[in-house]
Amino acid sequence: MRAILLIGTAALALSACDGGPAPQQHGANPSLPEPHRGLLPDMTIPRPAEWGSDRPTVPEGYTIQAIATDLRIPRQTLVLPNGDILVTEGTGGQSAPRLNPKAFIAGIIKSWGRTSVAGGNRLTLLRDADGDGTYETRSIFADNLNGPYGLALVNDVLYVANQDALVRFDYREGQTEASGAPALVTNLPSAVNHHWTKSLTASPDGRFLYVGIGSNSNITERGMEVEVDRAMVWQIDPQTGAHRPFATGLRNPTALTVQPGTGQLWAVVNERDEIGPDLVPDYLTSVREGSFYGWPYSYWGQNVDTRAQPQNPERVAAAVRPDYALGAHVAALGVAFSTPSMGTAFADGVFVGEHGSWNRNVPAGYKVVFVPFRDGRPAGDPIDFVSGFLNGNGNTRGRPVGVSVDPRGALIVADDLSNTIWRVTAKR
């Protein structure tokens, strides 16, 4: 153990040598420095801290409150038609050993920024019966799930993306617990499960479901055979379970949503590591059918990653540039389109939950940002909407994951470090 700590200390010392201001990495044309690699990646992660009497910071004219606490690793949320909120709680992970000492050390350092609470592997339902903003009823809607993450409701069917399978429950508006065990729609790739989360959304007409499936490595270090059916978005027929690749080359599409009015699928994607603290920007992008987004051969269009072997110039030439850079290593895990009910300044755009970096000397992320849209596209710099998770001592009180917009005028934020669901509303 002492040897591990010494190596970890060396890693932190190496990261401290790589400070300085970050380049501008927001928008359609981010600054991309030259890649560089060291013995170890930068590894600096804020340690957990208590909120005490503090609360996250929101814009003037808005207020934030905790509507559920003491959860068991909340991930994504879904606002049901009657205003109830479903929360996925749980965790998944790898079944394969670490590939090398570097990965082993990184795993230890990442664990410093996580909750000590065991994952619930369940769905929790929150209800505010009188509409006063206090969710007085809390019940277990379903349990004994396996790393539940993504949620979607289509008519009277609730879909849940576990780490190994897409399942369904019959749903009746107002029910507080599932009427039976889930039924299998289709199995999802789960061998190794380096990136275990399975994001989920439905097409506007409910005909198809879309599941985001992350890669099984950072940059194919486990070999391409374990990347079959991964680093892509699947399109699934929920009636038959039949599926096909909808878009590929997306290293880890951690959250999916459909743009109101256009039906366009959008995703936030976590990009690759270990080529510097300012590469590669995580991003928000429209997901176009049949498109290839670069992983593993290139990033941000045709920027070649020489670590991917053998190289594939044909795939690099076909790589699509994402729409909007969020910044390197912010770890975007949630995305939701806003509505006019969120106020004039935040009516047109998306909210993005940024879980936060583990591999930058100066932490990035650890907040919820608003990306403004104009004419259906991202336009302008991101705006901090929920911040203050990092305290003045370099520690963090929370880490945002999923975000949902309640049409009645509230942003719902899942925080998997303080195990809290936050609700942000405009002051009336």
7 has pLDDT over 70: no
What's the rounded Cα separation, in Å, for the pair 382 and 134?
Answer: 30
Instruction: Convert the pLDDT of each residue in 256-290 to its tens digit.
Output: 999 999 999 999 999 999 999 999 999 999 999 99
- On average, the pLDDT of the chain sits at 92
- Closest CA relative to residue 372, chosen from 5, 27, 106, 24: 27
What's the rounded Cα separation, in Å, for the pair 107 and 336?
Answer: 30
- What pLDDT, on a 0 to 100 scale, did the predictor assign at position 42? 72
101 has pLDDT over 60: yes
Region 83-88: mean pLDDT is 98
Q: Whole-model pTM?
A: 0.94
- Closest CA relative to residue 233, chosen from 215, 217, 213: 213
- What pLDDT, on a 0 to 100 scale, did the predictor assign at position 183? 98
Domains and CATH numbers, the chain: 2-17+36-426 (2.120.10.30)
Per-residue pLDDT band at 129 (split at 50, 70, 90): very high
39 has pLDDT over 80: no
- What pLDDT, on a 0 to 100 scale, did the predictor assign at position 333? 98
- Helices (DSSP H) in 275-362: which residue ranges? 313-318
15 has pLDDT over 90: no
Is 383 in contact with 367 (CB distance < 8 Å)? no
Is 110 in contact with 45 (CB distance < 8 Å)? yes
| Residue where the block lists tokens 């890669």 | 215
